[in-house]
Structure formats: C-alpha cells, structure tokens
Structure 1
C-alpha cells in the first residue's frame, strides 16, 4: 500500500536522476550544434536533446501541479477538520458547563434536603422531650398526690 507522499517522492527521485543525464546530453548537443551549425547530424542531436529536456521539464511542472492540487485538497480537508473540531470543542464546553451546573445544583438540593430533614427531626426531638417531661411531671404529681391522698371511699 503506497501513500501519495511516497508516490510523489518516487517520481521526484526518478525525474531528478534522469534530469542530470538529460541536461548533460543537452549541454553537449548544444555546444556541438553551435560549433557545427552546418551539420544536420548535430542539429538532429540538438533537437532530440532539446525535446528530451523539454519533456523532462514538462514532467516536473506536471508533478508540481499535481502536488499543489493535492496540497489544496489537504488544506481543504484540514480546514473542514478544524471547523469540526471547533464545533466539537464548543459542544464539549457546553456539556461541561451543563455538567458543572447540574452537579452544583444537585449538591445544593442535597444540602437543602438534609437541612429540611434536620429541622423536622429537631422539632420531633423537642416535641418528644417536652412530651416525656410532661408525662414525668404528671406521673410525679399522681405519685405525690397518691401517697397523701386516700381513695374516695375511705374519705368521709
């Protein structure tokens, strides 16, 4: 499985290795042609070398255009991903705020419920204490009156 980067790298290496030999051949043909302007063989060699060099330069520009096009696609993809990340971060921030608010509210609710239960239990304890104190006082008064008082049938 090859990636576009390795394909481009292979093509660049191929062009690079061919270009130096084609350029050397063109340079030699150019010099030979201008030394022997009347020779058709020199002109043919020069034309072939010039066409080879032109083809190689065309390959370079085509590869450059292909790479630039791919980079444009990558830039578009990166911009789309960046926008999606921004939307995702916004959602995460909103959810985090909601979570903080809900956990804060739930803890307040728990504290308020605990205070309410405490107040109810406090009132119940005071009421029970007063009831027990009243019962002890009543029992004590009956015991006090009962030890000195005689039943009604014996009183006369």
Structure 2
C-alpha cells in the first residue's frame, strides 16, 4: 500500500500529524518535523478535537473503541522504543523497567521479536506477575544488576 503525501500509514505517528512539507513527507517517509497533538497543538486530552483526515485511522468494527484507544500510546510507544531506539534483534537479552501499560506491552512485543531472555523489573507484585504472563523470562523487584548477570550468565543486557 503506497502513501500519498502527508498520508497516515504504518510508519506514521498516530498521536499527531506530519508537517506535509519536509523531504521525508514528500517521499512518503517518516516526517522529520512531526507535530505532536497535545504538545505542539491542542487536542491531547480533549473530549473532542479536530484532526486532519490524513492523521486518523479507521477502527475496524471488530475492535472495541476502548481497546483501540490504547494503540497510539502503549503499543506504539513500546514498539518505537524497541524497534527504533533500542533496535532489538532476535536472541538479544532485553531488560524492561516498569511493567505498567507501556512496559507490559514492551514485554509482549519483545517476546514477539524473539528477544531472549526478557527480564522485567517492577516493585509491584501484580506487575511482575503480569510481566511473566506477557512473556518475560524473569520478573524482579530488587537486586536487578546481580540477578540480570545470573539470569544471562554474566553477559549483561544487549
């Protein structure tokens, strides 16, 4: 599926809008001057807001709105952290600190990316249980550095 200038697509940010003027926008790439809703212009926590047509994505009828609403935050944030920032590869050791909404999805996505081992750290017992349920190999609350070294044979995290 091709992208037209300024069109929303899988490589676009869902929580704002591309500038529509930079070279990356012209070529259909990721905008270098992205503007975030609620940061660069109004609408972040609004009950109602106006959005450009090319910045919205239809929600399939089979996906409830309350489930779709988390995608731009917890799913895309953890995905970008793992893919763009950390560049996780298969069989890499990954540590995820904090297993709330974003962290839990990071654990699940890291598992889907075949990262191993996945070590989650959170002081809350429920969060550690969630991390294990989402695919973490180990869930720790204290002694992080020592436990990581034990869990992956003294190598450290990738």
TM over 0.5: no
| Higher RCO (C-alpha under 8 Å, 6+ residues apart) | 1
Q: Which has the higher strand share?
A: 2
TM-score (structure 2 length as normaliser): 0.18
TM-score normalised per structure 1: 0.19
